[in-house]
């Protein structure tokens, strides 16, 4: 059986079952420009209806036994595995991902559901000390309706990492995926949850643009927002959420540094560096956006990384065995190329790449990059590795910390303790000693600081319970308290 039968999602959104949307949009394969189908696109009115329906369904869902909720999420995990090949192909075609990246997404999606299933049986509170003769409890209760907004780059993981734990904890969810990845990042989650037996109305999946997202953030039924996307959009989401007095978990952009100390194994460092900068065409929030290399290694590092980049095949990941697929669309590609061109104009040396055909951008290496050049100073979100050299650890720390972002950090060294000490001077949400900057596991609390987000975390029981529940203080005593008046 096909999980993602186009008959179900053509022109439709998932909101109280499959319902026709007033508008639809082409589902495009960026590698070929081919139209793979047409998915429904939601506007503010459809979002409002979905939020009201979610609020109506939430109480009953929250009242189900933890075993029932766990069973739904366990079935969802199994369905991601059973239909893995089909979902993977959609990620390859619709998001332009190479098969290993698409496979990783499916694997993590299943893990997110299994972890969420276990979340249902976690203790949900504490017994508190109290000065009176009574029982005093801090009890975690579902937030109510959770709004989830996800981007196009890791569409499945970035949706399910909030959808699954929010559902497990008794919330209803209205999920707005990016319309460019409506099927692999949206309909796949809707179909899996439908097949897993999630009651109707508890989950709504409505692809849509910024207007639909803004309506979701402002909707009075929605109590918590889980937003993953750019820092610019995240600021707007945070502002609106604050006005409506609701919590917003903001996972935003990055410009993560990889520091290569002079004692690092150079060949291994270059392999890690290429993965960090070029995986999924550099369209990852944790992408290695800045290579800080000790001056004694910098020239050789640039030469080896450039040779690797030149040798990397770029093409259609469905039909060829390639290392890089296409950029998601022409707008993103133009942005990447403008940042590379401006950086070369600013004095960076173009060692590899810097060219493109259709949506295929060659892996690009820039060396001797002035730190003010845009490819170094800004998030590129493309396959670009800018290299800057440093002379000692304090200079490396200062360069790495001189960014408004604070998502991930990699430090490569023969002396891990030295790496840890260096990391203490660089504020980021994630640190990998002897690895590049890109990684994710369903059990790890994931998040950034500074312009990378509000320090919110998804992943692991503690972070997920914190993110998707409210704390209620409850006291209980046998007689009514008497007061002086
Ligand atoms: P984007 O901010 O333009 O879009 C992300 C999502 O937000 C989309 O679903 C979009 O429709 C929606 N949106 C846009 N404006 C909105 C608004 N005003 N209100 C509500 N929703 C709105 O991001 P993008 O450029 O498509 O995605 C790439 C960005 O996402 C990069 O900056 C990347 O670093 C970041 N990202 C962060 C993480 C993380 O976990 N920190 C993960 C992946 C991507």
Tens digits of residue pLDDT in 263-284: 999 999 999 999 999 999 999 9
Report whether residue 236 contacts ligand 1, using a CB cutoff of 6 Å.
yes
Measured CA to CA in angstroms, residue 416 lies from 41, 49, 268, 421, 434 at distances of 49, 53, 15, 9, 7
Residue 44 Cβ contacting ligand 1 at under 6 Å: no
- Cβ of 229 less than 6 Å from ligand 1: yes
* CB 94, CB 27: distance < 8 Å: yes
Q: Is residue 111's pLDDT more than 70? A: yes
Q: Is the CB of 214 under 6 A from ligand 1?
A: yes
The candidate with the shortest Cα–Cα distance to 91, out of 83, 81, 101, is 101
Mean pLDDT over 425-433 rounds to 98
For the Cβ of 209 lying below 6 angstroms from any atom of ligand 1, the answer is yes
| Mean pLDDT of all residues in 312-338 | 98
Number of C-beta neighbours around residue 41 at 10 A: 20
Hey, whose CA ends up nearest to atom 10 of ligand 1?
A: 210
pLDDT at 455: 81
Cβ of 447 closer than 6 Å to ligand 1, yes or no, is no
Q: Give the residues across from 208 on adjacent strands.
A: none
Q: What is the pLDDT of residue 456?
A: 79
Distance 252 CA to ligand 1 centre (A): 7
Catalytic residues: 251, 285
Choice from 43, 233, 280 to test ligand 1 binding pocket (greatest atom count within 8 A of CB):
233
The Cα–Cα gap between 295 and 301 comes to 10
| Distance from the alpha carbon of residue 453 to the mean position of ligand 1, in angstroms | 12
Mean pLDDT within 80-99: 98
137 CA distance to ligand 1 centroid (A)?
38
The answer to whether 373 touches 347, Cβ cutoff 8 Å, is: yes
Atom of ligand 1 nearest to the CA of 237: 19
- Spacing, Cα 87 to ligand 1 middle (Å): 22
Q: Average pLDDT for residues 329-340, to the nearest whole number?
A: 98
Q: What is the pLDDT of residue 1?
A: 67
Q: Which atom of ligand 1 is nearest to the CA of 253?
A: 34
Does the CA dihedral 74-76-80-86 come out positive or negative? positive
Residue to mutate, 215, 229, 408, ligand 1, most ligand atoms under 8 Å from C-beta: 229
Cα distance between residue 386 and residue 380, in whole Å: 10
**Per-residue DSSP letters for 298-326?**
HHHHHHHHHHHHHH--BS-TTTS--SB--
pLDDT tens per residue, range 354-392: 999 999 999 999 999 999 999 999 999 999 999 999 999
Encode pLDDT of 158-202 as tens digits: 999 999 999 999 999 999 999 999 999 999 999 999 999 999 999
Mutation probe of ligand 1 site: the residue of 25, 151, 217 with most atoms within 8 A of C-beta: 151
Measured CA to CA, the distance from residue 20 to residue 43 in angstroms comes to: 12
> Which atom of ligand 1 lies at the shortest distance from residue 217's CA?
20
Give one word for 444, left, alpha or beta, with left for phi > 0 and alpha for psi -120 to 50: beta
Torsion 338-342-348-351 (CA) sign: positive
């Amino acid at each position: 059986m096909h999980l993602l039968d186009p008959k179900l999602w053509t022109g439709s959104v998932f909101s109280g079952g499959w319902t026709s949307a007033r508008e639809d949009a082409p589902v495009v394969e960026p590698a070929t420009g081919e139209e793979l189908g047409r998915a429904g696109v939601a506007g503010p009115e459809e979002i409002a209806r979905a939020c009201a329906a979610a609020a109506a369904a939430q109480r009953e869902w929250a009242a189900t036994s933890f075993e029932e909720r766990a069973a739904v999420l366990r079935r969802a995990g199994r369905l991601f595995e059973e239909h893995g090949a089909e979902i993977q192909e959609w990620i390859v075609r619709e998001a332009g991902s190479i098969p290993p990246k698409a496979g990783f997404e499916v694997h993590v999606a299943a893990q997110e559901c299994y972890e969420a299933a276990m979340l249902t049986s976690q203790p949900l509170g504490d017994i508190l000390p109290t000065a009176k003769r009574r029982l005093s409890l801090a009890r975690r209760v579902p937030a109510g309706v959770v709004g989830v907004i996800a981007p196009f780059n890791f569409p499945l993981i970035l949706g399910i990492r909030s959808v699954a734990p929010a559902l497990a904890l008794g919330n209803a969810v209205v999920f707005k995926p990016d319309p460019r990845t409506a099927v692999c990042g949206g309909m796949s989650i809707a179909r899996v949850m439908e097949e897993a037996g999630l009651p109707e109305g508890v989950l709504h999946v409505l692809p849509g643009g910024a207007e639909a997202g803004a309506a979701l953030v402002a909707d009075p039924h929605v109590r918590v927002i889980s937003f993953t996307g750019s820092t610019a959009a995240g600021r707007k989401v945070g502002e609106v959420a604050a006005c409506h007095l609701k919590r917003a978990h903001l996972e935003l952009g990055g410009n993560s540094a990889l520091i290569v100390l002079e004692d690092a194994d150079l060949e291994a460092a270059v392999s890690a560096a290429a993965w960090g900068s070029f995986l999924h065409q550099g369209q990852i929030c944790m992408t290695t956006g800045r290579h800080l290399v000790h001056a004694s290694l910098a020239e050789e590092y640039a030469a080896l990384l450039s040779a690797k980049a030149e040798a990397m095949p770029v093409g259609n990941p469905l039909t060829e065995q390639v290392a890089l697929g296409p950029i998601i669309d022409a707008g993103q590609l133009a942005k990447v190329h403008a940042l590379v061109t401006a950086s070369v104009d600013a004095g960076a040396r173009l060692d590899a790449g810097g060219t493109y055909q259709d949506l295929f951008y060659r892996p690009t290496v820039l060396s001797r990059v002035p730190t003010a050049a845009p490819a170094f100073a800004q998030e590129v979100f493309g396959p670009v590795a800018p290299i800057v050299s440093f002379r000692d650890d304090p200079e490396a720390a200062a360069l790495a910390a001189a960014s408004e972002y604070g998502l991930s950090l990699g430090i490569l060294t023969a002396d891990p303790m030295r790496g840890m000490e260096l990391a203490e001077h660089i504020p980021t949400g994630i640190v990998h000693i002897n690895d590049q900057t890109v990684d994710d596991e369903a059990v790890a609390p994931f998040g950034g600081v500074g312009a990378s987000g509000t320090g919110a975390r998804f992943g692991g029981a503690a972070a997920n319970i914190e993110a998707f529940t409210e704390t209620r203080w409850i006291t209980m005593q046998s007689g009514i308290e008497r007061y002086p008046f």
